[in-house]
Homo-oligomer: A and B are copies of this chain.
Amino acid sequence: MFSDLSMGALGLSADLPTAIDLAAKHGFGGVDPDLGYLKQLGSDAAVTEFAAGVGDRGLRWGMAGLPINLTAPAGEFAAALAELPAALSILTAAGIDRVGTWIRPMHDDLSYRRNWVLHVSRLTLVSQLLADAGIRIGLEYIGPKTFWSTERFPFLHSLSEARELIAETGASNIGLILDSYHWYTAGESADDLAGLTDADIVSADINDARDDRERDQQQDLDRRLPGSTGVIDLDGFMSALRAASYTGPVKIEPFMKSLASQPVDEVLADAASRLTSAIGG
């Protein structure tokens, strides 16, 4: 695995060239791509050339966002499907082979099983299109009860459910986005991660939780930097990634607004240090 810089996940904003510079400067192993930026380069050839420059800086690509909304209304989804080949062409030109999305863990109208059919339906189709392009999809389950309990029908919000969904699609290019924060808030332990392999994991996030709240009171958008409070068993999480021989990106996504008011280099130096330390074990 390698440390990965996502400016957005840190609550910072920068265009892709700046993010690449910063990732190189602070010793990250990779950087998350920005499909919008790549698109405006204007041609697949320009994208390929740009990506070569990233490799020349010693950086790998992390994970791009899935360029389609899985739960959009049918008409909107069909229209987005028509746009998908262009996006896949750019991803392919750039050599990006990981995209991901999170699963909304509740719905006000669709029961668990109706929502399941919706997700299986959309994922089955999208994963085949991405498989044809050699791209893997990562799915992130969302753990906090303060989130999944807010509408009439809770949906998938745990590792075991995410694995059930992936199995149901029958797709070999769908895997997990593992986030220590969701793993903790879902009430999971290192045992739940046992048996995973590199093929099961598309991306990983490490974060810690506030130490003045119980697990079921934690908020999805109010986390802490990995290792800072010790609420989450970061060692157990990283040991499981190592046991899986995980080779992909690891990043930080703390949803701490305070970071935006600190000097960027300070934030990134700290983030890189925390990632390197966690990955090193």
Contacts and interface: CB of A to CB of B under 8 A. Distances in A.
Interface of A: 73-75, 77-79, 81-82, 84-85, 111-114, 116-118, 120-122, 124-125, 128-129, 132, 145, 148-149, 152-154, 158, 160-161, 164, 167-170, 186-187
Q: Which 5 A-B pairs have the closest CB atoms?
A: A74-B128, A82-B82, A121-B121, A149-B149, A154-B154
A69 to B, nearest CB: 13
29 contacts: A74-B125, A74-B129, A74-B132, A75-B129, A78-B82, A78-B84, A81-B82, A111-B158, A112-B112, A112-B161, A113-B161, A113-B164, A114-B170, A117-B120, A117-B168, A117-B169, A117-B170, A118-B124, A120-B120, A120-B121, A121-B125, A122-B125, A125-B125, A148-B154, A149-B154, A152-B158, A153-B158, A154-B154, A167-B167
Given A75-B128, A149-B149, 14 more contacts: A75-B129, A78-B81, A81-B82, A111-B160, A111-B161, A111-B164, A112-B112, A114-B160, A120-B120, A120-B121, A121-B122, A121-B124, A145-B149, A152-B187
